[in-house]
Structure 1
Amino acid sequence: MEGGRVTRLARRRWATAAELLQLVNAEPGITRREAAERLGLSSGAATELVDRLKRLELLNESRAEHTGPGRPTTILEPHEQGPLVLIIGLRASGWELRLSDLAGRLTALTDAPYEDDRPEAVLTTIAAAVAGAVDDAEPRIRCVVVSAAGPVSGTALGQLSARHWLELLDLQRLTAGIPAERRPPLLVGNDATLAGVAEARTGASKDTSVAVHLMVATGIGGVLLLNGEPALGAHGTGGEFGHLPFADPALECTCGSYGCWDLAVDGRALARHRGEPEPADPEDYARRLLDDLESGRSRSGDNRGAVALAAGAFGRGIAGLVNAHDPDVITLGGLGPQLRRTAPEAFDRAYRSGLMTVHQRQPPPVLDSVHGADGPTRGAAYLGIDHITSPAALDRWAGNEPETDTAAR
């Protein structure tokens, strides 16, 4: 290998192994026989490949239940000492660290609130935890993925508006405490984008050619998915649907623009419709109001009216995205399902009346996400697994050579 790039020979050597490991991730419980059929391998070739991956501590086998004629087969599963993905979640209210194995099984390491308003201090605290996690699992962590509740470009976070972090932050400092020769590659993705990836892989938009995912929190994040792959735009910031100018143009957004859709849908809109000041935590404000209405603790007509206005703005904006992108399905995460559920008539009326005639006969279904609050983490795991099961990464694992570059989703 030269210049940190995998050679053509290594790529050929590991291509089928990469396909097999990705199949084990996509179809938990797959047997060796089923995997061989999927990949077009003979029984002998499959046995040889599996044995090689077992020696490298990438795969293990357990006996499958014998249900028919023919020889017994085995279930393929990740090796307990195999490579891992370390996931950093930068949420609105706190941060977390989780590990994922090749099957996407998650292990929680840390879940903590932000204990400082200064982003530099917070990132320093997280970086120390990241370095400790890498040391503890040495040399198994082969990739670090950040899921961030804000726009990202490369390894930079544009803002975390819920924390009033409005300056560009270089997230490479999260792995800066790891010696360069042992530092895993860093991948960074927006949380809503990663949640959309999870829905496309194993959720509500699986097997669709065009899907839109939307996540309501503080603002509206989202992503357009084409055959399961996110359309990220020229600089990685695609899918910032909440900053489409669908709201009152007199309303100023923290992004620097006016009239952003965010401001017509999230907790800031609900507070404005109720005649209250902008909440410090719009997501928590919206969740408490929606919970009160759903549980019957609140029967206020004013509260229901405020939610109906926000749900209508949400449905109308989704109609605009349907008109623009012609998706097979729209999936909703975050507070989106609850907002629609609390004011279904207002949502449906606005959604259907906003569609072009060509879409009105068969409107694309709007579905709740399968993965819910875990969507961003699961999407981050899939992104990391794609990386560590690539031919280049497998070649490095076999030679025990760490990778030290960075990339972004």
Structure 2
Amino acid sequence: MGETYVGVDVGGTKVLAVRLSAAGVLEATATRPMPGVSAGPDAVEEAVALAARDVYAAGAPAALGVSAAGLVDATGERFLFGAHLPWRDAPVRRSIERRLEQMERGSGGGAPSGGPRGPNPRVVLDNDANCAAYAELVAGAARGVRSALLITIGTGIGGAVVLDGRVIRGAHGLAGEFGHMQAVPDGLACECGLRGCWEQYCSGRALERVTRVALGRHLDGPEVTALALAGDQVALHSFASIGTWLGVGTAALVSAFDPEVVVVGGGVSAVGDLLLGPARRALAGSLQGTAYRSVPELVPAGLGPEAGAIGAALLARDGRS
């Protein structure tokens, strides 16, 4: 077997790992529950390491990428802040390397029984949407495109900007935090500490909240999705609500960046036109001069909910720049 590369996507509700061949072919996937913010950094780092080990092949991969939902510094060393993750200005890249080393020595408390032995991989860390954008550029819906926006809709909203065929990280590595743009002044409180953030109106948690208000009981995202696919009117209205907010927020981004295409990924986007139909209508209705300009196509991510993990593995293979 040739060299392999592993990517691990750390989200608000789950940790998803993938293994790619050197040619970028997806060979294996594994999922572990996200321990949650209250469990603390150690528990999350262990979940990341264990998920990675779940997809190891005959030996350790050549490199391992970690895709994390939040602010990652320009060096790719430190995770600064994330509303749904417990790290605060922490050297996460090195911490995960250390955790893998401990597991290899058998002192990390949880290495899989009989797991492969060998040199530990180099670890690369980046923001989840940057990883997803890179995956879509290399092998997905933005392949061959010079300018694009990526919006990931999961527990919250992530984003990335592609200009001249490159993911733009900004002066401090923090570009693309679309979910925490203020959509409603003095609006709903957000886990980030602000109010009225876009992700409070368009995200997995927003979907659950809108449905709970309408039904008077809590349903999680997959349950709402199943109802919507079965034609339930309340669930369909919930998707229409967050889809409309998706289109309104996207219009502001299109006005700022004028991309060729807008790619929508993340777990919530898996419903396709239930979300994207209302979003396209709201985008067209919220953008100035649509009779005189091109409205960019709003398309689903070609690599689906695995884009972040795949992108992390590809960045580990190609080098984070």
TM range, normalised to the smaller chain?
0.7 to 0.9
Q: Structure 1 or 2: larger helix share?
A: 1
Q: Structure 1 residues 286, 107: CA separation in 2 closer, same or farther (over 3 Å shift)?
A: same
Mapped to 1, the partners of 2:51 and 2:302 lie a distance apart of 30
Q: How far, CA to CA, are the matches of 2:275 and 2:251 in structure 1?
A: 17
**Counterparts of 2:245 and 2:140, CA distance in 1:** 26
Which residue identity does 1:294 align to in structure 2? L
Out of 78, 88, 91, the position equivalent to 1:170 is: 91
In the alignment, which of 301, 305, 310 is matched to residue 369 of structure 1? 301
For residues 237 and 359 of structure 1, what CA distance do their matches in structure 2 show?
34
Partners of 2:162 and 2:141 in 1: CA distance: 12
CA distance in 2 between counterparts of 1:111 and 1:234 reads 33
Query: 2-side partners of 1:343 and 1:132: how far apart?
Result: 33
> Structure with the greater relative contact order (CA < 8 A, sep ≥ 6): 1 or 2?
2
- Over 3 Å counting, the alpha-carbon distance change for 1:214 and 1:112 in structure 2 is same
Partner of 1:118: 40
Q: Report the secondary structure of 1:122's partner residue.
A: helix
**Structure 1 residues 197-236: aligned runs within 5 Å:** 197-236=134-173
C-alpha contact 1:311 1:339 (8 A) present in aligned 2: no
Tell me, what secondary structure is at the counterpart of 1:176? Answer: helix
Q: Hey, what does 1:72 align to over in structure 2?
A: none
2:20 matched residue in structure 1:
100
Instruction: Decide whether the 8 Å contact of 2:14 with 2:32 is kept in 1.
Output: yes
2:315 to 352, 359, 383: 383
Among candidates 57, 62, 68, match of residue 142 of structure 1: 62
| Structure 1 CA distance for aligned equivalents of residues 48 and 265 of structure 2 | 26
For the 8 Å contact 2:5–2:63, the answer to whether it is kept is yes
Q: Unpaired segments of 5 or more residues in structure 2?
A: 103-118
**Structure whose CA Rg is larger:** 1
TM-score (structure 2 length as normaliser): 0.79
Partner of 1:7: none
1:342 Cα deviation after fit: 1.9
Q: Could you say if the C-alpha distance between residues 353 and 109 of structure 1 is closer, same or farther in structure 2, counting changes exceeding 3 Å?
A: closer
Aligned to 2:4: 84
Q: Which residue of 1 aligns with 2:122?
A: 185
Q: Distance in 1 between matches of 2:261 and 2:48?
A: 37
Query: What percentage of aligned pairs have identical amino acids?
Result: 27
Residue of structure 2 in register with 1:262 after alignment: 199
Structure 1's unaligned 5+ residue stretches are 1-79, 388-407
Change (3 A) 1:360 1:308: farther
What secondary structure, in the 3-state scheme, does the structure 2 residue paired with 1:95 have?
strand
1:380-403 CA distance string (max 9 Å, x none): 22212213xxxxxxxxxxxxxxxx
Match in the other structure for 2:110: none
Match for residue 242 of structure 2 among 310, 315, 331: 310
Match of 2:220 among 272, 281, 285: 285
Deviation sequence 1:340-384 (CA, Å, 0-9, x none): 622666433321121121675421111111111221122122212
Task: Decide whether the 8 Å contact of 2:31 with 2:51 is kept in 1.
Answer: no
Is the Cα contact below 8 Å between 2:160 and 2:177 reproduced in 1? yes
**Number of corresponding residues:** 299
Structure 2 partner of 1:299: 233
Matched to 2:251, the amino acid is A
